[in-house]
Chains A and B, each alone.
Chain A
């Protein structure tokens, strides 16, 4: 418990507090009056209003579109299911720089919708909402679907035998059991859309800004630290509230349900109704999730002189001809992998320790700690990045120009995923097994190796894979601290997109595709490792 606490205090709480403090405290002391001042500004009120309602709308739309998907993934058996489940998760870990571009190609001008029906959604709020569905589809499918797959269908059947109608049985039996999972998923989607940054920046145009976008503008562009500090605090309170409710629903979900092996509940769809449902979900996934990804791949292959791997080959040559990039873009792939590996190790260490501590202790303090670990998901990367700058500036912690800062920042985002994945599994390990081993003469180390390790190994691997994928795609914090001689993949993509010319654009698309593939492969490996009996939240 001490290690993760110290980690969070040093690399999260302290930097964030320092940068917020810098905004609110002047030479004349604390300026709490500024809070009211900022909050009553009409432009800020607009931002708050937009942030809230678009998050509500995005969450509702995501649930509407993804819940049928959750059902289909939970209850139906169909070829390619594992692959498809990995595919729908890809957007979740892709950097928005990449996806925004692909998404624009679909709903933007000259996109698929435009060509078919003359509908253009870019710079409208619909583009933002749809992109949010795209990003968060997997959250619902995994959180709700994971539980749905394990609900015993016989309970519903029993209710029907006792005379309940099909709908009444579902409403009285299945819905209450699913309720907490739906609530937890909704809150996660709400959290992610409330703090949305890249999507709103790229698709929303200048007239839309969320709190997160505004914090970025105020900090990075205008250097208006007081305003940024107040907005950060507002976001902090909101996120804290969301996480509080989330922790509460999660606890409710952990109350005993009769869970069964998902393999027993899933079946091939039968009858026209079920087939239509499956078809509808597959079509939605194809249009909403696969299509933008395909556009990305298509653009990366659309090299001058016909389709081919021209841009990919150029990736290898770039940089060799005089350092237009200081590093060849392919080296960025290697950099990303190294950073992600280090970040995963840190996230596993911190997250694993935290999950272990949370398993073994109860009480309000621990629950608070649980929520604390999730906070980095809801705090602006620019706040953390700038906080690092002004706090980690003295030996022995002058890490501002050290490579370790990148994996540290990425690990902050990875830890919540590790905790969420490990916690249910660790809680399920029966202490009596360990005692039995001890009675039989095993040393504590041996008991751990023989009992705990086999049980948590898969969860550990899944957590590692998730942290790895999230680290790979992390962009916000990295862009401020990535060393130029070692840019990560998303940073290299952004740099390529920042220059005129066909080769730059094409290479950005090719690099994005590579990033997407790396993410997809690590997720596919996770699918293979998914434990049968227990499922984490993701």
Chain B
């Protein structure tokens, strides 16, 4: 018995020692902000998904101008991050949530996790993106989910790459396309919605029957589709991917250029502009936020020119404000999608589950 206590004591001492060490290393950043003597309300917390990114200097500038310190919490992919917010409703972990898109917007609004706030910068936002008239959420960025193609493959085969959804079911493109599971992956869901937008609530199943007959392959997530199976991406080339068509983003070609080493003069991949679904991402002030004023300032900052123009190279999305300019990388290697498919958020909310289920039994099983 006494030995137990001794072991316990020694272990406790060791544990505390190590924890303290780790705490010293770990807590440094917090202590820095706390030690500046400012009250708690000087920190504003942004909760987001894993893809959120901002250039350090841009964020620092906001911190200096506003006097707030920004803390960012990222938790999983977009769906998981939103669900965590819904679960912690009323006692949120932060002040602002960023990363709910038009496919999940209704779930967020129906659960009432946001407080309305009409941002000062809202006047600059292109009106087609303002999907919530009560301003519980503010549009921050938009992006297009589109079929990408491997330029080299189609050049070798002297075949024109597909341009539209209709093209994808043609025999010359048989067994070329890989897409993601609509039940678990947001580009997968986006592509399903593109077909709904184009062929309507009655016609999309027909389209997928044809697509399946034409050899579409479904994998679970974007990483597998893009980095493993797609022959045009850097990862796919190494993995000897054999599918020259993949569902990805309109901004993937600029990313291939930016992260090439050395950067290629031309993107190795292209975008089929007639296959796109437009995604809009929003930020909202969380109900029960400890720092409402800070949260509002943060949302204003996110629609400011500075942040909007920083986003493309950080998150590979497009700005939503009228005067924000795209970086050269995007204008040179990206495409402008003139007529993306769209589906109203309410329609998506009403049918999403049933569509995904029908899609699963049609395509996956």
Contact = CB atoms under 8 A, between A and B. Distances in A.
24 contacts: A22-B87, A110-B240, A205-B219, A220-B76, A322-B56, A323-B55, A342-B26, A345-B14, A348-B11, A348-B14, A349-B14, A353-B8, A360-B1, A401-B94, A407-B19, A479-B76, A484-B48, A485-B71, A500-B233, A500-B252, A500-B256, A502-B260, A505-B238, A506-B234
Interface string B16-57: 111101110111010000000000000001001011111111
B239 interface: yes
B273 interface: no
Question: Interface SS of chain B: helix, strand, loop or mixed?
Answer: helix
B6 interface: yes
Interface in A458-486: 479-486
Contacts, number: 235
Contact of A501 (B53, B93, B256): B256
A414 interface: no
A394 B91 CA distance: 9
Given A108-B239, A445-B6, A326 B22 contact: no
A123 B219 contact: yes
B224 to A, nearest CB: 7
A217 B183 contact: yes
Contact of B259 (A303, A345, A434, A500): A500
Of all A-B residue pairs in the complex, the 4 with the closest CB atoms, nearest first, are A501-B259, A110-B240, A502-B234, A323-B56
Given A223-B86, A349-B11, A502-B259, A110 B242 contact: yes
**Of B15, B233, B314, most A-chain CB atoms within 10 Å:** B15
A204 B55 CA distance: 37
Interface stretch (B77-85, B124-132, B162-170, B291-299): B77-85
A444 B259 contact: no
A221 B2 contact: no
A452 B234 contact: no
A210 interface: no
A504 interface: yes
A207 interface: yes
B222 interface: yes
B266 interface: no
A464 B169 CA distance: 57
A145 interface: no
Contacts of B233: 500-501, 505
Interface string A205-237: 111000000000101111100000000000000
Contact of A505 (B107, B235, B360): B235
A345 to B, nearest CB: 4
Interface residues of A, number: 87
A386 interface: yes
Contacts of B228: 101, 104, 108-109
A346 B248 contact: no
B83 A220 contact: yes
Given A221-B79, A323-B55, A401-B45, A109 B239 contact: yes
A484 B74 contact: yes
B26 A403 contact: yes
B53 A325 contact: yes
B284 interface: no
A179 interface: no
A345 B15 contact: yes
A105 B84 contact: no
Contact of B241 (A109, A356, A497): A109
Interface in A291-340: 299, 302-305, 310, 314, 322-326, 334-335, 338-339
A516 interface: no
**Of A109, A123, A299, A345, most B-chain CB atoms within 10 Å:** A345
A304 B238 CA distance: 11
Given A299-B238, A360-B1, A220 B79 contact: yes
Contacts of B76: 220, 479-480
B79 A483 contact: no
A302 B79 CA distance: 34
Nearest to B223: A497
Interface of A: 3, 22, 101, 104-105, 108-111, 123, 201-202, 204-207, 217, 219-223, 299, 302-305, 310, 314, 322-326, 334-335, 338-339, 341-342, 344-346, 348-349, 352-353, 356-357, 360, 382, 386, 389-390, 393-394, 400-401, 403-404, 407, 434, 444-445, 448, 452, 456, 479-486, 494-495, 497-506
Given A201-B220, A206-B220, A389 B87 contact: yes
B259 A503 contact: yes
A106 to B, nearest CB: 11
A3 B88 contact: no
Contacts of A495: 50
A444 B227 contact: no
B364 A206 contact: yes
Contacts of B59: 323
A88 to B, nearest CB: 25
Contact of B27 (A110, A386, A403): A403
Contact of A110 (B23, B55, B241, B248): B241
A353 B1 CA distance: 11
A347 to B, nearest CB: 9
Contacts of B25: 334, 338
Contacts of B261: 303-305, 310, 314, 502-503, 506
B88 A448 contact: no
A105 B240 CA distance: 9
Contacts of A503: 234, 259-261
B109 interface: no
B75 A206 contact: no
B259 A338 contact: no
A302 B239 CA distance: 12
Interface in B222-264: 222-224, 226-229, 233-235, 238-242, 248-249, 252, 255-256, 258-262
A444 B6 contact: yes
Nearest to B107: A223
B157 interface: no
B53 A326 contact: yes
A167 to B, nearest CB: 46
Interface in B335-359: 353
Contacts of A108: 228, 239
B230 to A, nearest CB: 10
A419 to B, nearest CB: 13
B3 interface: yes
B133 interface: no
Nearest to A481: B75
A458 B50 CA distance: 40
B53 A323 contact: yes
B233 to A, nearest CB: 6
